[in-house]
Amino acid sequence: MSPTPLDAPGHGGRAQIVGLGLIGSSVALALHKAGWHVSGLDVDEARMARALELGVVDHLGSDPVASIVFVATPVAAIASVAMELLESRSGDPELVVTDVGGVKGQVVASIADPRFVGGHPMAGSEQEGPDGADPDLFVGATWVLTPTDVMSPAAFQRVRSVVASFGADVVELAPARHDALVAIVSHLPHLTAANLMSLASDASEEHSVLLRLAAGGFRDMTRIAAGDPVIWPDIFRDNASAVIEALDDLRGRLDEARRMLVEQDRGALVALLEHARVARRNLPPRMPRPESVVECRVPVPDRPGVLAEVTTLLGEIGANIRDLEIAHSAEGERGVLVLTIDAEAVDAARAALVEHGYRPAISRLE
């Protein structure tokens, strides 16, 4: 490819994106929206051309004076790309480099430059590449940054302010802690879902009727196993030790659950189920706003239009739905809409729902 000419920067900032997948392209658009001049690079020339065509980037190629670089390559390539960039501008204090990889410990440890700040936006979609890019992908999303002793505080503050300008909710975690926590809430659940789905699938070869018995709960539990597995082998390689630790914790708990079943320890079983129930009900909504949101559970029949009716009803009275889940209760053709809405809209929402024959159960999220 031949580089396109550099346009004049917007607010004076110049940024570089390496890797124009969904996240890299969305970062490019978010930067562009904030007035940055954005240059983009990718190993795939067709993808680069598409990014330029869609206006995802202003320029193709390297920008030698970019003040911030987002490395959005697959995890395996991050360290070498970042090191090469940092070395090529050795000693340049105007440069900060950050990344968007899902595992942080190894990458951060291998880049011992004060101008590097590890990051992980907890956002995504099923779309891919520049075509799926969205400048608002990170609005309200948690974006983890992983400060270290090596890192310059000034570099950290610069990355933090740029990321916060995308509307992200920035959470600062040490790299190892990030990896331990995502092992628990993301990597282990993914591995478990894959194994549950495989188990049922293997059993269904002998019992073809099995999957006709798979109702809402099973579907919910295995849904993430349907995702494209391409990013997972790298994650399981780079975060193996944390995933193994979380897996061993789960294995120990399943051993204990087995003991409860064998010994018919009803008390322990009830305590386990009750503990989990309370914890799940207290799980914060994805955009936690204590005291300002309420949870509204609306049992609904499975008929065409019911979802549209409930959501439109709430839209008409101006209640913003911050989160929505469909709980396939127990089994079968019925469900409960679990809506997280603004507390200020609660009275109007309740009235509107009751008027239309629904029986909402509303509780404040503490």
Q: Of 126-145, which residues contact a second copy (CB under 8 A)? A: 126-127, 132, 134, 136-142, 144
Nearer to a second copy, 46 or 279 (CB): 279
Cα–Cα dist 198/176, whole Å: 30
The one segment of 68-76, 89-97, 154-162, 233-241 that binds a second copy by CB under 8 A: 233-241
Cα–Cα dist 19/304, whole Å: 42
Using the rule CB under 8 A, is 363 a contact of a second copy? Answer: no
User: Which is nearest to 282 in space by CA: 161, 194, 366?
Assistant: 366
Using the rule CB under 8 A, is 228 a contact of a second copy? Answer: yes
Judged by phi (left if over 0) then psi (alpha if -120 to 50, else beta), residue 19 lies in left
Sequence-ordered list of residues with C-beta below 8 angstroms from that of 216, at least 6 positions apart, any chain: 327, 328, 329, 330, 331, 332, 335
User: Which is nearest to 97 in space by CA: 73, 76, 132?
Assistant: 73
Shortest Å, Cβ 126 to a second copy: 4
Shortest Å, Cβ 82 to a second copy: 22
Task: Tell me the two tokens of residue 134.
Answer: 């969205």
Using the rule CB under 8 A, is 347 a contact of a second copy? Answer: no
Using the rule CB under 8 A, is 77 a contact of a second copy? Answer: no
Residue 287 DSSP code: S
Selected from 159, 193, 294, 353, the binder of a second copy by CB under 8 A is 193
Shortest Å, Cβ 43 to a second copy: 21
> Does residue 214 contact residue 200 with C-beta atoms inside 8 Å?
yes
Sequence-ordered list of residues with C-beta below 8 angstroms from that of 363, at least 6 positions apart, any chain: 294, 295, 297
Nearer to a second copy, 237 or 356 (CB): 237
Task: Tell me the two tokens of residue 174.
Answer: 């040490």
Shortest Å, Cβ 21 to a second copy: 12
Selected from 61, 74, 114, 189, the binder of a second copy by CB under 8 A is 189
Nearer to a second copy, 10 or 216 (CB): 216
Cα–Cα dist 32/320, whole Å: 27
Shortest Å, Cβ 250 to a second copy: 6
Q: Of 271-330, which residues contact a second copy (CB under 8 A)? A: 272-277, 279-281, 283-284, 286-288, 297, 299, 301-302, 304-305, 307-308, 311-312, 315, 320-321, 324-327, 329-330
Residue 1 DSSP code: -
Selected from 225, 293, 296, 352, the binder of a second copy by CB under 8 A is 225
Nearer to a second copy, 62 or 169 (CB): 169
The one segment of 82-90, 91-99, 155-163, 222-230 that binds a second copy by CB under 8 A: 222-230
Shortest Å, Cβ 303 to a second copy: 8
Nearer to a second copy, 83 or 240 (CB): 240
Selected from 38, 103, 243, 365, the binder of a second copy by CB under 8 A is 243
Shortest Å, Cβ 207 to a second copy: 6
Shortest Å, Cβ 170 to a second copy: 11
Radius of gyration of the chain (CA): 24
Can you tell me which residue has the tokens 């970019």?
66
Residues 27-36 as b or e (16 or more Cβ within 10 Å = b): bbbbbbebeb
Nearer to a second copy, 110 or 241 (CB): 241
| Kind and range of the H or E run holding 251 | helix 240-263
Shortest Å, Cβ 103 to a second copy: 13
> Does residue 100 contact residue 27 with C-beta atoms inside 8 Å?
yes
Using the rule CB under 8 A, is 146 a contact of a second copy? Answer: no
Can you tell me which residue has the tokens 């409960």?
336
Selected from 331, 347, 354, 363, the binder of a second copy by CB under 8 A is 331
Based on DSSP, count helices (H) and strands (E) in the chain, helices before strands.
13, 12
Cα–Cα dist 53/36, whole Å: 18
Sequence-ordered list of residues with C-beta below 8 angstroms from that of 112, at least 6 positions apart, any chain: 150
Selected from 6, 109, 257, 362, the binder of a second copy by CB under 8 A is 257
